[in-house]
Structure 1
Amino acid sequence: MLFSNDFAVNYLKKNVNKNALEVLALLQSPNTDEAISMQLDMKVNSVRRILNIMQGYGITNYYVAKNTNGWLSFAWY
């Protein structure tokens, strides 16, 4: 697993954010950025930034769902 690899852990802390591992730990099943921010008591913008950086590295991904009002919801995994 990624968390047991010291190189990967240090890389994430250095190149993404010191909270990247906490965010990743909550992605054992698909989760929204709003839910992650509430669970970690972080600003939602900070969580989104971490998720987007990790998505750029190919570590995380997301799917988009549109509700009947046209609002988009992102579930990260």
Structure 2
Amino acid sequence: MLSLIMAPLNINFKVFKVKSLRNSDVTESHLANLGFVKGAIIKVISENDGNLIVSIKDARVAIGKDIAKKILVEEM
């Protein structure tokens, strides 16, 4: 299990957990609406200075490095 920010590019992972965040009500529900829920398949497409573009549920989403640190993934 590792943080999404440490995941290598173009390898499928499974979301294990989204750690609690500041302003947790808004941020966690927004991430869940985007598809960041336990068991979702995720792949890092590109990385720029810690900020990520990921593929999740047939969509590409930009994630800041602070949020990416809170998303734990595991290998499939």
Normalised by the length of structure 1, the TM-score is 0.31
Q: Name which structure has the greater RCO, CA cutoff 8 Å, separation 6+.
A: 2
**Larger relative strand fraction:** 2
Which entry has the higher C-alpha Rg, 1 or 2?
Answer: 1
TM-score (norm 2): 0.32
